[in-house]
Amino acid sequence: MMKSEPKVHVEVESRLENVELVQIAIESSLAQLDLSEDDAHQIGTSIREAVANAIKHGNRGDVSKLVKVELGIDNGDLLIRVHDQGVGFDEDGVPNPLEPENLLRRNGRGILLMKQYMDQIEYTFQPENGTVLEMRKELAVLRSNSAKQQEEEKQ
């Protein structure tokens, strides 16, 4: 779980057009971090995939259910949590999109992209409280700021 308090909260109804809205909101927050173009692309893509999955598969498009995204910094890492109100899924049951028989499937590549672009992703399934996806990415710019802060605190 996120040790420090999240810095940014975004909460939307389960409508696919909100994927774009969440990404715009999060990207405007991330713009302050002066990320490299690659990091911004990788984080933006991961958030987009996570929110789309939460809306489509987690909440099954039920607009009465919400998707909540939290963004924070923990020990110099960027932490993103995406909550939905669905019943979860069997992670082992997700077909591997890289298997030859799955290469030409239309769907099923979102988790692969998140795993590739983030350093760690972990699902927590809570029977009464939905699913939480936590993603972590080490960012040089955050590590450097964190080290500076610790140095200042020592002085």
Contact residues for other proteins (CB under 8 A)?
16-17, 19-20, 41, 44-45, 48-49, 52, 97-98, 103-110, 112-113, 116
HSE-CB for 67 with a 13 A CA cutoff: 33
Among 57, 46, 136, CA closest to 90: 57
- Least distance from other proteins to the Cβ atom of residue 143, Å: 24
Q: Which structure tokens are listed for 122?
A: 């972990």
When the beta carbons of 4 and 108 are compared against other proteins, the nearer one is 108
Q: How far is the CB of 74 from other proteins (least distance, A)?
A: 26
Q: Which is nearer to other proteins, 6 or 44 (CB)?
A: 44
**Terminal alpha carbon distance of the chain:** 30
**At closest approach, how far in Å is the CB of 3 from other proteins?**
30
Mapping DSSP to helix (H, G, I), strand (E, B) and coil, where does residue 27 land? helix
Sign of the C-alpha dihedral, residues 56, 27, 83, 21?
A: negative
DSSP secondary structure letter of residue 33: G
The Cα 59–Cα 21 span in angstroms is: 17
Q: How far is the CB of 26 from other proteins (least distance, A)?
A: 14
Q: Which is nearer to other proteins, 45 or 146 (CB)?
A: 45
Closest approach of other proteins to the CB of residue 113, in Å: 6
Structure tokens at 63: 């607009």
Comparing CB distances to other proteins, the nearer of 35 and 73 is 35
Measured from the CB atom, the residue of 93 and 127 that comes closer to other proteins is 93
